[in-house]
Structure 1
Amino acid sequence: MSGFDSNPFVHPVDVNPFQDPSVTQVTTTGTEGLQEFNPFSARALDDLSGPTIPVSAPSQPAVLQPTVEPSPRAVAAAAQEELRKQQEELEKKAAELQRKEEELHNRDTSRGKENNWPPLPKFLPIKPCFYQDFNEEIPVDYQKICKRMYYLWMYHCVTLFLNVLACMAYFIADAQFGVDFGLSILWFLLFSPGAFLCWYRPVYKAFRSDSSFSFFFFFFIFSFQVVVYVIQSVGIPKWGNSGWISSISMLGTSKAVAVFMMVVAGFFTVNAVLAITLLKMVHSKYRRTGASFQKAQQEFSQGVVTNNTFQTAASSAAASAVQGAFR
């Protein structure tokens, strides 16, 4: 309780904080340690002479080599060398193609192209009569229309064969129509190869050699073929055609025969439609080729003059005329 009895307003006793025994002891001890340490003494030197750690030399910094761009002259020289190599390769290929073409030409000249149509077995004594190759002889722009004409000829032959069968059934159902059966056989034997020689081969030659004369010959013959198709589709009795009139007339006698004849009449009708369509297509192709009637006349006159038979006949006539004049 004595602490509470003291007067707080009385001046306190002056106390020196540095006179505290703990502080005095610490300061005295630190001073003595510093005074006793000598960095140049032998003990200090022994402490410093410990194991040394080798210091590695600092690595050299990475230095980027500057890119050296080729000069325009070097670029031009490299491009010229590349072009020279390409030109040499093209010349080699051209020489090889020319050599092969000459070999093919010499082979065709020496022995001629071997006929491949019609494709007959080799054991038969009859050999093919024509050479036909769309990819080799027909230009690319005309191959499609030329093949369509070939397919039309095949369809034409199939229709004539079915017409023979229909007319045979017509004759069996009614004996008075035997004439139609006989004529149908004649039309099949006559018009199948005749169509091939008269209008298909001319259009093939026209597209192959761009011949105006072949084009005009084709148009002249094929126009008659279109008319024949129309007559066959009509089917006039006793004309050897199984058309619409003949087939309708058989409805009262035999419906089965009448239906079969109607099918053949439909084939003839399709033939007529396809023929008219292809005639227009060939005419449009013909107008693009630059052919004309004057060119056809010129080709015909040149063909006649250069024909060996005509030359032989003309020379014989001239020789006989000269001999007669001298006599």
Structure 2
Amino acid sequence: MAENNFPPLPRFIPLKPCFYQDFNEIPEQRRSVCKRLYYLWILNSATLAVNLIGCLAWMCGGGGATNFGMAFLWLILFTPCSYVCWFRPIYKAFKTDSSFNFMAFFFVFMAQVVISIIQSVGIPGWGVCGWLATITFFSTNIGSAVVMLIPTIMFTAVAVLSFVALTKVHNFYRGSGGSLGKAQEEWATGAWKNPHVQQAAQQAAMGAAQGAMQQNQYSAAPTYNYDDPM
């Protein structure tokens, strides 16, 4: 059993990492997609941190303290929750070809997309510097509104990238033969949490990928017809 290595906490913090994360254990044809989702999670977390700064400028410009308090809650709650609730399921899904984890990812990540759209809109009092809150505040304090514009743009980018990521993962899953019935079967048999079944599924997925790559190489090779007369 590998030792947990994520999050990479400094040694002076009396806490230990909770998860093991190594992209090399994911089949190569899925690794790049999984890494992009990880970078999307980082971007989302960074956006929440920048939003806290934007809400601080919002408060200093006369916008009240409610938004700053809500922004702090967004940061400390949604940063770890998004990692556990949608990135870990897709990490496990890519690692073991688990339909159950794919479905868990789709269920949570669709909510993530909706939340990102709401954040980019920026309803006042929700603790997010979206377009509505930022544009409205330009008439009150231009300096604060300019600072608020940065997380607004970042929220918009997260919303767009999240929708694109959801579409690509869904197309990948359907293209690989996944279905809701397969996920229900995994749930009924408990295969989604059996480490031996997960290891076998991972080896099967890697073997299938290698076979497909070899087939593509053979099909790309030139063929000659020796029956034609010279």
Instruction: State the TM-score bracket (shorter-chain normalisation).
Output: 0.7 to 0.9
User: Which of 232, 242, 250 lines up with 2:119 in the alignment?
Assistant: 232
- The equivalent of 2:214 in structure 1 is none
Alignment of 1:195-274 (within 5 A): 195-274=82-161
Q: Distance in 1 between matches of 2:8 and 2:68?
A: 30
- Which blocks of at least 5 consecutive residues in structure 2 are unaligned? 195-230
Q: Contact conserved, 2:61 with 2:144, CA < 8 A, in 1?
A: yes
Sort the Cα spacing of 1:305 and 1:133 in 2 relative to 1 into closer, same or farther, 3 A. Answer: closer
| 2:172 is the counterpart of 1:285 | yes
Could you tell me how far 1:125 is from its partner in structure 2? Answer: 2.4
Q: Which amino acid aligns with 1:270?
A: A
- Which blocks of at least 5 consecutive residues in structure 1 are unaligned? 1-111, 308-327
Q: Contact conserved, 1:247 with 1:262, CA < 8 A, in 2?
A: yes
User: Which of 49, 54, 60 lines up with 1:161 in the alignment?
Assistant: 49
Q: Secondary structure at the match of 2:10?
A: coil
Q: Contact conserved, 2:41 with 2:82, CA < 8 A, in 1?
A: yes
Could you tell me how far 1:234 is from its partner in structure 2? Answer: 0.5
Aligned residue pairs, count: 194
Q: Distance in 2 between matches of 1:121 and 1:182?
A: 27
Sort the Cα spacing of 1:201 and 1:305 in 2 relative to 1 into closer, same or farther, 3 A. Answer: closer
| Aligned-residue RMSD, C-alpha | 1.7
Q: Contact conserved, 2:100 with 2:192, CA < 8 A, in 1?
A: no
Alignment of 1:51-70 (within 5 A): none
Q: Secondary structure at the match of 2:190?
A: helix
Q: Distance in 2 between matches of 1:304 and 1:210?
A: 11
Q: Which amino acid aligns with 2:109?
A: F
Q: Secondary structure at the match of 2:13?
A: coil
Q: Distance in 1 between matches of 2:13 and 2:114?
A: 37
Could you tell me how far 1:306 is from its partner in structure 2? Answer: 8.0
- Aligned-pair identity (%): 48
Structure showing greater relative contact order (alpha-carbon pairs closer than 8 Å, 6 or more residues apart): 2
Alignment of 1:97-176 (within 5 A): 112-135=1-24, 137-175=25-63
Q: Secondary structure at the match of 1:276?
A: helix
Q: Distance in 1 between matches of 2:73 and 2:16?
A: 24
* Structure (1 or 2) with the larger CA radius of gyration: 1
Alignment of 1:26-41 (within 5 A): none
Q: Which amino acid aligns with 1:134?
A: F
Q: Secondary structure at the match of 1:261?
A: helix
So what's the TM-score if we normalise by structure 2? 0.80
Could you tell me how far 1:251 is from its partner in structure 2? Answer: 1.0
